[in-house]
Amino acid sequence: MSKTKKNHYLSQCISRNFIQTGNKTFWQYDCLKGGAIEPRNISNLFSRKRIWGQNLENTINKYMENHIAPILKHLSERPVERIRIPGPTGFVENQFNGIHIDSEEDCTILSKLWLQVVLLQRSNESQPDSEIEETLTQFFLHMMAI
């Protein structure tokens, strides 16, 4: 495998489902720049250079992202049945709608999305730590096997 220069603390397999088909631009609201809205290429979004080592990156890719990505893509393309409720001035559509995930296997895999929190916390560290990264690698391997 090639060496990864940028590590995504929020996996691209999640971000890709929030952009228009064929477009790689994501609009980011930046509080640090006075609330400016800037276009960002999805490959640069939620990433920093070399937050963790290649071994952890390969583990995340192989054991988490490769399992979660196809399920998220399928769910994002699935039509949502919008519930309309009669109201005093006509029908009102709920602000939030959902879909039932039928597959127990998909539910189990998607439950691993909480591991993104671990990646976000790791991205806040300023110094590399090979011992922590090895522990995280083993942790990801164990959690994805469950």
Tens digit of pLDDT for each residue in 79-93? Answer: 777 778 888 888 887
Is residue 32 included in any domain, yes or no? yes
State the DSSP string of 76-132. Answer: HHSPP---EEEETTEEEE-S--------HHHHHHHGGGGHHHHHHHHHT-SS--HHH
Is residue 1 included in any domain, yes or no? no
Counting beta carbons within 10 angstroms of the beta carbon of residue 62, is it exposed (0 to 12), middle (13 to 18) or buried (19 or more)?
middle
Please tell me the pTM assigned to this model.
0.72
Structural domain containing residue 34: 6-78+102-145
pLDDT recorded at residue 30: 79
Q: Mean pLDDT highest for which of 71-75, 88-92, 93-97?
A: 71-75
Tens digit of pLDDT for each residue in 15-70? Answer: 888 877 667 788 888 788 787 888 888 888 888 888 888 988 898 888 888 899 99
pLDDT recorded at residue 123: 85
pLDDT recorded at residue 21: 63
Is residue 97 included in any domain, yes or no? no
Is residue 94 included in any domain, yes or no? no
Is residue 93 included in any domain, yes or no? no
Is residue 85 included in any domain, yes or no? no
Is residue 88 included in any domain, yes or no? no
Is residue 90 included in any domain, yes or no? no
Q: Which tokens belong to 64? A: 């988490």
**Domains identified in the chain, total number:** 1
